[in-house]
Amino acid sequence: VIGVVIGKTDVRGFPDRKNIGSERYTFSFTIRDSPTYFINVNSWGREEYIRSLSESFRVGDCVTIENPLVQTKEAEREEKFNPVTPSCYKLLLSENHSVVKTCSTYEMDTKLLSLLHLPVKDPQDYYSLGDIVANGQSLHGRILNVLAAVMSVS
């Protein structure tokens, strides 16, 4: 699978239920290869493997994923912690079988890079900040999609 990384989580550690006293580490990212399709990728493993993998690329990089395990996602559980994707599948990376390679600049397709700036939600499914201010009371308690741009950081 070749795609552009459009989102990425931080590395997190969890107690390993199989090996009491040790930890397993995880991080996930989302890749996109067309305007319509993108998929979440999860990786679990030893701290050294997960940290090294996470540091090997960043959002905006083009990556090639070799030998991922394709799994059916558990929509309700998965989408609580990852972006909602149009696929009913997710990819799982294994330390022993999977490889993630960053594409060099000359290998990158400009079509892939343009996907980085496309929203992942339906353009009709957003509220403007003005709508939220004007209708705040009626929207109270609802989960909304907001499309906004950062004007400055200070």
> Which tens digits make up the pLDDT trace of 127-146?
888 888 888 788 888 777 88
| Matching residue, tokens 């997710």 | 90
- Compute the distance between CA of residue 86 and CA of residue 66 in angstroms, rounded to an integer: 21
CATH architecture of the domain 2-115 equals Beta Barrel (2.40)
17-60 confidence digits (pLDDT tens): 888 888 999 999 999 998 889 999 999 999 999 999 999 999 98
Q: To the nearest whole percent, how much of the chain has pLDDT over 90? A: 40
Q: Per-domain residue ranges for the chain? A: 2-115
Q: If DSSP codes are grouped into helix, strand and coil, which group holds residue 13? A: strand
